[in-house]
Structure 1
Amino acid sequence: MQAADTATGTGGWVGRGEALSRLGVKAQTLYAYVSRGRIAARPDPEDPRRSLYAARDIARLTGGQIAEDVALLPSVGAPARGEAEVQSGLTLIAGGRLFYRGMDAIQLAETATLEDVARRLWDARDANPFAEVRPRVGAVPGGSARARLFAALARRAEEDADRKPRPIADLRLECARVLDEAVDAFVGSGPRLFLHQRLARAWKVPERDVHLIRRALVLAADHEMNPAVLTTRAAAGGGASPAAAALAGLATLAGSEAIAELSRASAWILAVRRQAVDAARRAHEMGALGGFGDPIYPSGDPRAAALLAVADLPLDLARAMDEGREATGLAPNFGLALGTVARRLELPREAATDLLLTGRLAGLLGHALDQIANGSPIRARLRYVGPEPGAH
């Protein structure tokens, strides 16, 4: 057994050999714990081909003592007052990096399609539910792309409302059809290309730039625990189909501060293209400069850095990014990166938001599947604080 399998690691992480020894289980059981979110895992910094496992999670499962110097993950420990505890095996943010089921999302974005990432998040890496998807005849109503997206999800929610238990493979196929029809709602029917290619074709993106759409969708697929994820999981846990649960989550996301921040960043980028000189400085002085900094990533959002690094920005947008960094002392966040790439490709005004919603739909469907398949309870309690009975 090699040293990487037995090393204790740093910050409360142990190698595979040590994890198996502490748990007293076979490797397959360890991997099942990881996939179900019961043990957090991350790549070994010294050898990314190997994994490290959270000692705190192992101690919790074995009833052992938890060391005080173990680094806490956001979901570890009992929920505080007003919080709900959710167990997930999909996404981890650790060390300023984003992982989809243990794989660095930035690395995935180099070559993966949204379909690839959806299969990973849906734990369907040994099967391809998209291979069985066929185009659907019949458009959905709605004037805007977003209205058609929600109409398509509502239609699927009604059609998939049967509460009878279904095999996980059938549910994955259902999710693939939902995602496929959502993209059709945006762009209409056409050649059955990859999802990013269909969006790029509808937006008339040059072939050399289509990879930017693909990367944006992959990086948008999932992120931290937020109200959209909680809404999706609560709906799925209550018996909703994946489409209905994802619709609830996506509606929550559409009204969130993240979308509002993305809209402000996109508006600023539009202003930059109209009047590039000192646009960042003036916006910052007026308190209207959005899109810089993210509390989750103190050293900068790696998704934004990865997307902007390959965007080949024109001089005015590149200068705006530099001016914004200088004015705020912060790096661009992912919303600003999406807005900047949308302007670089001359996409429709709301395209940055549409990219985020489309990519995130894959992740929300994954959370719905995870909740249905693994059934980890969401521990929350409603405490009444209203008037006493009979009070006037």
Structure 2
Amino acid sequence: MTEWLTREQALERLNIRPQTLYAYVSRGRIGMKPDDADPRRSQYRADDIAALATRRDRGRSPQAIAESAIAWGEPAIATSISTVLHGRLIYRGKDAVKLSATATLEETAELLWASDRPVSFASLTPSAARQSGTPTAFARLSALAAEGWSSLGRRPAMLQQDGAAATSALATALGATPGSEPVHARLAQGWSVEAPGADLIRKALVLLADHELNASTFAARVAASTGAPIAACLLAGLATLTGPRHGGAGAAAIALVEDAERLGADEAIARWLAHDRPLPGFGHPLYPEGDPRAESVFSGLEIDDGLSRLRKAVLAATGLHPNIDFALAAITRSLRLPADAPFRLFALGRSVGWTAHAIEQVTSNRLIRPRARYDGPISMG
């Protein structure tokens, strides 16, 4: 068997439509690369196709299919908000990387929310809290959630207002100064960042706004399916984002960089891998050829020597490319932002996506309630 197959060969061996082949590629289940003879065409990894064909031939029970959908499996929820296709992040039909060249987070919210009016995250009331950060963000959203209206039976425009209010509160809690300017400018003011850095923050927020059905977005949709207030849906997303396998990856990437500077890149990589720890900030199942969000950030950022050496060493040792978490670590170091800036940027940007998905879930009028496959003991007494 050859290492790479043509599109026609892949379709024939799997007996699938082109759309299904592209879906497998976008989810990282089939590797793809440009054809050396004709870069306009693509080739597909034969081993991945053979493994998929074997699983299909064996057949799978409904229970096994349902279980596999939970972790990078088949699509489980229909959405028109975003997707990853052919290694590109798409926001309602628009390339997110291209959008991030000029758009603000507010303009991105208008797109993702399908709003018929401009979105504002203005906050004209001075913050009563002396400190900003994750604890303050949780406190603000908790207060809004406790006082919020149920999302059921309300028009999307009203839910959008709730989402804008929650995101505005989240922005000031995470360090943005009060004002009516775009939220990236106010965040830059709060962090004493000059105009070029503010534009980099703007781009990062847009690129982080949504990412299909990730863990925090799924949590927000589950909350929305019960009719919870929009602020409560964002709170569910924020809680999920705190995990080290999600929003905490940016801090872990900074730790890896610091280890590399102290021990040397090769030694740091070897130690992380020896302890069975994946390298934070590198690789992504949906972007086998590299995360375009990270590359977009790098285009406007001068990476320091420590980051550059680590990036090259990881590629040489593992073949993995940087992802958005590594890019957030690079922004944090370059602009001398607070140590938890990767999480703050992630939370603020993704609040727009959480709101979009919460509204979409509410308007679908469906409860998300999967069944569990019980494998514990059963008492017959």
Which residue is equivalent to 2:283? Answer: 293
CA contact (8 A) 1:270 1:343 kept: no
Instruction: Report the Cα distance in structure 1 between the residues aligned to 2:248 and 2:159, rounded to whole angstroms.
Output: 32
1:1-392 aligned within 5 A:
11-12=18-19, 80-82=65-67, 83=69, 85-124=76-115, 126-130=116-120, 135-136=124-125, 139=128, 145-162=133-150, 165-187=153-175, 189-271=177-259, 275=262, 279-287=264-272, 289-378=279-368, 380-389=370-379
Give structure 1 regions of 4+ aligned residues with deviation exceeding 4 angstroms: none
With over 3 angstroms needed to count, the CA separation of the structure-2 counterparts of 1:162 and 1:290, relative to structure 1, is: closer
TM-score under structure 1 normalisation? 0.73
TM-score under structure 2 normalisation? 0.75
Report how far residue 113 of structure 1 moved: 0.7
Q: Structure 1: where are the runs of 5+ without partners?
A: 1-9, 14-77
Instruction: Report the Cα distance in structure 2 between the residues aligned to 1:262 and 1:163, rounded to whole angstroms.
Output: 32
SS at match of 1:149: helix
Instruction: Report the Cα distance in structure 2 between the residues aligned to 1:152 and 1:344, rounded to whole angstroms.
Output: 29
Name the aligned partner's letter for residue 282 of structure 1.
E
Report how far residue 137 of structure 1 moved: 5.6
Q: Structure 2: where are the runs of 5+ without partners?
A: 1-16, 21-61, 71-75, 274-278
Instruction: Report the Cα distance in structure 1 between the residues aligned to 2:335 and 2:177, rounded to whole angstroms.
Output: 22
SS at match of 1:364: helix
With over 3 angstroms needed to count, the CA separation of the structure-2 counterparts of 1:216 and 1:163, relative to structure 1, is: closer
With over 3 angstroms needed to count, the CA separation of the structure-2 counterparts of 1:215 and 1:87, relative to structure 1, is: same
Cα RMSD (Å) of the superposition? 2.6
Deviates more, 1:93-102 or 1:263-272: 263-272
Instruction: Report the Cα distance in structure 2 between the residues aligned to 1:134 and 1:287, rounded to whole angstroms.
Output: 43
With over 3 angstroms needed to count, the CA separation of the structure-2 counterparts of 1:343 and 1:137, relative to structure 1, is: closer
Superposed CA deviations along residues 285-319 of structure 1, whole A, max 9, x for unmatched, are 21264322112111001111111121122344333
